Structure 1
């Protein structure tokens, strides 16, 4: 039986991602509710922009879609934005595989390949995010902290809690991942 008390879920959902190999990051999160609701947060641009990025959606293999990050909108203030980070970032990604509402794999130009897997587990959904082809140490570091911070917002939103400030969370996590991934 899973222990899903709030304190246990918070500890589980705060765990750092792990490198499966030097270029592959994996993060697991548990979210309350049903798989269709979580899938909508992954694929619906209006819901997705509340935790990750707006843009467009495509759910057919080989179709392109755009992700538009405006992380200041996910942060307490624009002053939190780290030096050198853009106010807006766009990427045209390509769907490689999709099996709604369980699986999405897409290519992210210059940043590798992302797989999001969802599995219903009782009253919860297990989300497994795998980001492959993280060839540069700085990219691994920023992506690890970024996914962790964005997923913290997703967990809060799906749980009905106030989401944390993206940039403040990212800064803290980046320092932690710098130690964990031995990137200087």
Structure 2
């Protein structure tokens, strides 16, 4: 696979219904693994939810995107204050790979690879059902990863919904109709 992290921060379609997005983050790998698997850390950039690290284990993600940044920005119409999604671990290889089901929009793999003191995080979101969902998912992963990068680097994250709205418009022009 092409090293997308050297190209730019945007996700790309690696298959018609598969988004791949990467970030190079400060290590060590165990630290980034903790941001993926520990609810108290994951809730700061993505979603809360206790996760038993065992293949087949089910868990619930709980999103509260309004709480991800300060200052906050207005939530777009149609998005609830809180969103919940049931998921299940389908593949586990700590601290290198975590694959989970993702509600009605397929599955997601998180792959971690050490790189000279840094960690290349690759997220592959498969079976995205339609373009509208793809735009939401692309902007979502991009903005959530921007938050993770800010946290990992000790920076204040940008306002979540403002960034998500901007990114959705950018992905609309980048992803073919």
- TM interval, shorter chain, is over 0.9
Normalised to the residue count of structure 1, the TM-score between the two structures is: 0.89
Per-residue CA distance 1:72-124 (angstroms, 9 max, x = gap): 00144565100111111000101000011110000112121000000111110
The equivalent residue for 1:163 is 157
CA contact (8 A) 1:26 1:131 kept: yes
Unaligned runs of 5+ in 1: 1-10
Equivalent residue for 1:35? 29
The one of 92, 101, 121 equivalent to 1:107 is: 101
- In the TM superposition, residue 167 of structure 1 has moved relative to its aligned partner by 0.7
Q: 1:26 touches 1:130 (CA, 8 Å); kept in 2?
A: yes
Tell me what 2:148 maps to.
154
**CA deviation after TM superposition for structure 1 residue 13, in Å:** 8.9
1:2-53 per-residue CA deviation (whole Å, 9 max, x = no partner) reads xxxxxxxxx9595210001110000010001200000000000000000000
Match of 1:7 in 2: none
What is the count of residue pairs matched by the alignment? Answer: 173
Q: Contact 2:59–2:88 at 8 Å: present in 1 too?
A: yes
Q: Aligned Cα RMSD in Å?
A: 1.6
**Could you tell me which of 59, 77, 97 is aligned with 1:65?**
59
**Contact 2:56–2:90 under 8 Å retained in 1:** yes
Off by >3 Å, runs of 4+ in structure 1: 11-14, 75-79
Secondary structure in 1 matching 2:24:
strand
Tell me whether 14-23 or 70-79 shows the greater mean CA deviation: 70-79
- In the alignment, the residues of structure 2 paired with residue 160 and residue 13 of structure 1 have an alpha-carbon distance, to the nearest angstrom, of 23
1:90 aligns with 2:84: yes
Matched, 1:125 2:112: no
**Counterparts in 2 of 1:153 and 1:79: CA distance versus 1, 3 Å:** closer
